[in-house]
């Protein structure tokens, strides 16, 4: 959906994208294991991208909640999951990695241009604040 020299935002497809419309990953390009491996400026930039992704999803989808998670234990590969959640989704209020507890009811995914525009606007506003 978006990238610069440091990181990228990927709109997740497949089952995860179908069950959780708008699910995004923010991926740091360089292979580092922990947030504290980044410089202060790099951490600020990465979190601005994560927050811009959250703001764009909230603006386009109006979810009940956004889940943020930074996972990965095997490969030194830093990334954040930004996951819109709805009270009617198949796993709410449990984590998305739990088995589905019921059939889910979620809104349709945002259009790619709509989400990209909302992201670009949110990132510009966050960078102006920094």
CA–CA dist 110, 41 (Å, integer): 31
CA 95 to chain centre: 15
Q: What is the pLDDT of residue 66?
A: 98
Q: Report the DSSP beta bridge partners of residue 83.
A: 67
The structural domains of the chain, ordered by start, are: 2-129 (3.30.428.10)
Print pLDDT tens along the chain (130 aa). 999 999 999 999 887 888 899 999 999 999 999 999 999 999 999 999 999 999 999 999 999 999 999 987 777 889 999 999 999 999 999 999 999 988 888 888 888 899 999 999 999 999 998 7
- Dump strand ranges (E) for 2-130: 2-3, 7-11, 24-28, 65-70, 79-85
């Amino acid at each position: 959906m978006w990238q610069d020299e440091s990181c990228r935002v990927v709109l997740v497809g497949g089952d995860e994208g179908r069950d959780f419309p708008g699910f995004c990953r923010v991926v740091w390009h360089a292979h580092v294991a922990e947030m504290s491996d980044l410089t202060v400026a790099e951490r600020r930039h990465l979190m601005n991208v994560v927050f811009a992704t959250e703001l764009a999803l909230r603006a386009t989808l109006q979810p009940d909640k956004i889940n943020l998670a930074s996972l990965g234990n095997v490969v030194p590969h830093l990334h954040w999951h930004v996951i819109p959640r709805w009270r009617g989704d198949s796993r709410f209020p449990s984590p998305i990695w739990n088995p589905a507890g019921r059939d889910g009811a979620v809104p349709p995914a945002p259009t790619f241009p709509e989400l990209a525009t909302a992201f670009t606007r949110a990132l510009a506003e966050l960078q102006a604040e920094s």
